[in-house]
A and B are shown apart, each in its own frame.
Chain A
Amino acid sequence: MFHRRWFHHFHSHVPTFSGLQPLSNLPPGETGIVVKISGGHEFLSRMVALGLSPGVEVTVLQNHHHGPILTCVRESRLALGRGEAQKILLQVCNDPL
């Protein structure tokens, strides 16, 4: 294991994709693309207003099994409760070593 850069990073190679994952499952440093947001109209419109719309890239900054999750979306840092993060499904960008 080595420490991954947890800021926005662009891959020089084409990333491979694995299945959909809720945002709450992503470890710090991982980046994914929002595919689906479940949980009703109101939640969806709130998320969209905060920049979390389908197709956007999200990087997880802090996620420690318990408590809220810190992410970076559209250059801003957004904290989400675990319950909210479970409703956001991402396509994870795998970084093949």
Chain B
Amino acid sequence: MIPSDIRTIRSVPKFTTVSNHVLTFALAGQPNVGKSTIFNMLTGLKQHVGNWPGKTVEQKSGMCHHDGLEIQIVDLPGTYSLTANSPEERIARDFIIKASPDVVVVIVNAAALERDLYLISELLWLPSPLVVGLNMMDVASQQGFQIEPHVLEAALNVPVVPMSASRGQGVLELLETAIRMAEQKHLPNPKRPEIREDHKSVLEELVVRVYSITPEPYPPEWVALKLLEGDREITQLIQDRMGADWQQVHDILIQHEDAILAIASGRYEWIGRMMRAGVTKPKAGQVALTDKIDRFATHPVWGLLILFAVLGFTFSLTFTIGVPIQNWLDALIVQSGSTWAAVLLSGSPAWLQGLVIHGLIAGVGTVLTLLPILVIFFAAMGLLEDLGYMARAAFVMDRFMHSMGLHGKSFLPLFMGFGCNVPAVMGARIIEDPKARLATILITPLVPCTARLAVLAFMAPIFFGNSAILVSWGLVGLSLLTLLALGVVFHELLLGGEHKAFIMELPLYHLPNRRTILQSVSIRGIDFLRTAGSVILVMSVVLWALSSFPGGTIHTSYLAGIGRLLAPVGSWMGLDWRMMVALLSSFVRKENTIPTLAILFAAGDQNMSLASVLPGSMTNAAALAFLTVQILFIPCLATLASIRQETGSWRWTIIDFFLILAVSLVAGVLVYQIASLFI
């Protein structure tokens, strides 16, 4: 059966520690601090990837073994603070409060410590003991920062471990420090930030009022602080529990509506003290390398040129290296595999041979021949991400993607879709916002991939001669316009037309780390093989059965039957059942269109005869309609399987499937009806 729920099976959300021998560490941190590198180093490939219960936010957890201890490491979503502004922030704080991990390991970027200390200033109010991983020490010293971890440790009264995770330094020390903290009975009191002087009394008053009604694991001081900050979730919680008494608290809060600034200034004052204690900033006027590069990389004109050069290079790399390997694998596995299978199964019934050769081996072939392209593409994406360039690309493209309601980051995977839709769908992982990511994934199939362009390039000249180029460009344009339109539709549907605020941090550029990239490539590759791969394999067998039963040929098959059923729809486009079957067969692989037509129209000489037979079998208007449907048609099996894998939802996969099917058929009918008037 199709493993429909692999994702949910793999994601056993653990909100409580199971046995006494298992420690739980939560890994917290702001974005761009190298947290995922550290998570990968601690857990290796023993990771569980799934969603947080009831949320579309990815949950990663893994086991780490050290000194006979078993430690569960839960990677909290990267967040700048712990207010309830986003699902990520809610998840992070809920986990710390409700699952009370033995230690919260917070990773900070030593080169942006002033900003990163903000999260620590919030975490210090939560009950779990804290260990600070002061990461990117190497980058910070390159930038001219002088940091004294011991002084910082003394100032915070929390263990601080200096590290450069991308060089493999400090990870073990971090782990050992965290274990020590977990086993310690009496923990030192950390030095917490306080609210600005003028709001101290109101905070104290609130603590007194909420003390008795604050439900268990919530710390009352923290609750009072969150009420003053105007945190919606906590406000609701306390309002529900207080009943009639709420009005008084509410009045206090209204009176101190600006308290959030007093809290913030208290935190930044505390941060200032920490910075003065442990950090010497670089001398003024020292222009960092990042700023030198950004002068061009984020410029509206230079930035675009650099982006297209980078993309062009990635693209050509993927295809100059990937395609030959693909062909080699195809010859090795599909062709020689088929030959061997034919020999081995020579005595067996024809259906068994068909099943093995055209079902199983062809399915494995599809999966394996996609791998080289995916691996190269993931490596390129991983490199650009680790280098820090991805955020710049998003910055440059945001002005264009904004109109669709999409994030600048959506551009990269969409562009890659011209090569192949599968890596494009998987590449959408770089978009953090789950809804924006979903919208991007759902419109990706409308980017015409090389396989569809090849069919277009083959058929357009047959019907349109010299105007073929014009027709081809027109159809590609139509496809992109449809993508735009669907983008707007999904934007309305998923985000309610709301324009997501564009707020993004551009990380410092730094030398990419081989291990980080290899790890992300292998994790994604294995994910593809495990989830999408099995769907592709099963569906290949199903589709083989549909196209060869009953009767053993496509002419008499169920597929032909479905094609005949669809003939009425075809007739609105001037297409007969054979053209409909050709479209259906493109579901397996987009390249299949041509060989299927060759079989259906003339079983003899393939391409030559097709070119001579086709023009006689339909009008030019019908041919135009066929090409329209073909370029917009439902995503191929592999793309569909990866959409299922990446969205984690059959519902959205099916909605997308039928929506694109309907759009392509309607477009085909319209094109035929209009074109018939002119051609």
Contact = CB atoms under 8 A, between A and B. Distances in A.
B505 A77 contact: yes
Contacts of B287: 5, 7
Interface in B385-418: 391, 395, 398-399, 402, 408
A10 to B, nearest CB: 5
B294 A84 contact: no
A81 interface: yes
Interface string A63-88: 01011101011111111110110000
Interface stretch (A17-25, A39-47, A89-97): A39-47
Nearest to B79: A49
Contacts of A68: 395, 398-399, 408, 502
Given A42-B85, A75-B115, A70 B501 contact: no
B111 interface: yes
Interface stretch (B164-172, B260-268, B309-317, B478-486): B260-268
B653 interface: no
B504 interface: yes
Q: How large is the interface on B (under 10, 10 to 19, 20 to 34, 35 or more residues)?
A: 35 or more
Contacts of B113: 75
A64 B298 CA distance: 11
A84 B503 CA distance: 8
Interface string B279-306: 0010011111011001100111000000
A4 interface: no
B53 interface: no
B503 A80 contact: yes
Contacts, number: 130
Contacts of B13: none
Nearest to B396: A67
A77 to B, nearest CB: 4
Interface in A1-15: 5-10
Contact of B85 (A45, A51, A66, A75): A45
Q: How large is the interface on A (under 10, 10 to 19, 20 to 34, 35 or more residues)?
A: 35 or more
B285 A5 contact: yes
A77 B506 contact: yes
A49 B82 CA distance: 9
Contact of B284 (A10, A53, A54): A10
A61 interface: yes
Given A45-B83, A67-B300, A7 B505 contact: no
B502 A81 contact: yes
B294 A41 contact: no
Given A74-B112, A79-B504, A83-B501, A50 B80 contact: yes
Contacts of A67: 300, 398-399, 402
B112, B264, B499: residue with the most chain A Cβ atoms closer than 10 Å: B264
Given A5-B285, A45-B81, A53-B261, 16 more contacts: A6-B291, A7-B285, A44-B260, A45-B260, A50-B505, A51-B115, A53-B264, A61-B295, A68-B502, A70-B294, A75-B114, A79-B391, A79-B395, A79-B504, A81-B398, A81-B502
8 contacts: A41-B260, A45-B81, A45-B83, A51-B118, A62-B298, A67-B300, A79-B503, A81-B499
Interface of A: 5-10, 41-46, 48-51, 53-56, 61-62, 64, 66-68, 70, 72-81, 83-84
